[in-house]
Structure 1
Amino acid sequence: MTSPLPRWTRRAALLTLGLAAAITAQAQTKPPVRIVVGFAAGGGVDTMARILAEGMGQALGQTFVVENRPGAGGLIAAQVLKAAPADGNTLMLTNDHTVAILPHTLKNPGFDTARDFAPVAVVSDQIVFALATHPGTGITQLKDIGAWARQNPGQANFGVPAPGSMPEFAVGLLAKGLQVDATPAAYRGGSPLVMDLSAGQIPFGVTSTFELMPFAKTGKVRLLAVSGSARQADLPDVPTFAELGIQGLELANVAGLYAPAGTPPAVIARYSEAVRATLSSAKTRERLQALGATPNYGGPDALAQRMQRISDAWGPVIRQSGYQPQ
């Protein structure tokens, strides 16, 4: 027969169980950390945020939830982050459009990236966008656009996902490089643009590869070129703009995680390390790569430097385009 546990052992066991229960209860009552996303559910940034929330939750043993605040190219989400307490309970995942481009296209965005936000981590690089055409144009190469535009005067309309977006300014670079009279046509998002492009309502479109890929695979649109410094791994036959002589579109898109300015450094370091751990997972990397994103962890300093580089590169392009800040 087994002898009963000594009294001190039983007491220690009870204390241990009590401590575990207290920790569990504390974790259950602790408010979830929200990751604010400035784009609609189902899009590339939203899907990335949900993958990140799952991974960070597992790494830190707490709950992370995604809160969509779509509108104005991420402006609404940025203002939500600025107004949030710097207590570690609110983060924002965004691409560089919100924090590096909007300050050049809006007179008063209502936030200053360097002053109001604390960088946490670089999450991924991504090919910014691709140029596609409807098969009905008969165009198979970028260089064909010039002849088509001359044969169809006034019809070289290029759909872009939003006014004041990178694709809109890319159209200006394309017009200059191809010597055509190209007109950007702004939509309210990439999805309606691609729907019109695939239906032949507009001859050209410039938007993210994430949105174009499903239609390219079924032959409803034809990809002519991608931005970035190298061809996309899952689109090895589609050349970059640089290969075709169009310069200025080499920088990759950056997705980064931010906290409100003033968030304690220890909290920033904790979340940054959780991002690093999440991106080290082979499963997570596969899921992000399926979005056309390349997992590429970087710490707070790396995120600040990458976004500043993008701002410095696109600022002159935007000014030279004649675009008037709204």
Structure 2
Amino acid sequence: MNGTAAVVGAGIGGLATAIGLRSIGWEVTVLERRPQIRPEGTALGLRPDAQAALARLGLGEELRHRTVPYRKARIRTPDGRRIADLPLERIERKGGTPVLMLSRISLMGLLLGAMGDTAIVTGTDITDPESLCKDYDLVVGADGLRSVVRPAYFGTATRPRYTGIVAWRGVAGFEPPEHGETWGPGQVFGITPQEPGSTNWYAAVSTPEGHRETLDDLRARYAGWHDPIPRILAEADEDAVLRHEIYDLSPHLESFVAGNVALVGDAAHAMTPSLGQGACQALLDAAALTDCLQTAGDVGSGLHVYDLRRRKPAQRIVTMSRRMTGLAGHHLAGPRNLLMRLLPA
């Protein structure tokens, strides 16, 4: 079964969905609000299931050329004592391949390169989302946390909720002796590989909504933490560091589909970055939606199966990520380490 589809949003979920639908014969138009697609961001970790989703879209081989494996990392206290190991070895054993790291810019480049002649219409403000259903057989809301598609078709009960956390991200100019996260009261610092020759760092700090801090304020927060955290922040360039208030969606949506409309990615299940699963879940959405529509007799039945397949698993990740955000910034070693053992591989 195929037809015409409008994909609203040209982020990871939107581009992956467009690639998938095109591969099974759909005529796809991507509608993007921004005048230009200019990817930004630092490292993403792709778990084995997300790698399989990209392979389903025909991008598995190219992915391997852009990534580095992430196999070992520790969680430590600010003075450097070990709390636990991140479950990277368990993820690799279960999935048959390690977590692969690359930058968001590189992943977006991979997806854009696979779009072929699929139309991407930039500078498009969707002022009447409901009218899209008259012009297309399928409408996909892939327009992120502040989606215009979601409230038009799914109501306004589910909305962005500030988590109390601000995330800072940057790239370190040297290779640290080891990777992992450091957890202290109200704040976390992480160091990961990013792609060949590049190291990613991030900080998550408890901050009132709307309160602005400078990079010097961030340096003061982490003064006295173990090496190489002070060095990374001392060498960071404020113009190159990204800062974002973190929101997720609450409460959970009762469905990811309404009529001939489906939500994917952050439009459906925006989550905190604590588990590093946002991009992975968007790719899983795209691959599942493609599979469900390919085998369905009509759009309605395909979307019904998509909702059954993706909604509860994605929402479980949202809940676990929210809990991890709360635990990571506190010295609650027992509950925190228990949750580490329960994290999905």
TM-score by length of 1: 0.30
Which is higher, the Rg of structure 1 or of structure 2? Answer: 1
Q: What is the TM-score when the length of structure 2 is the normalising length?
A: 0.29
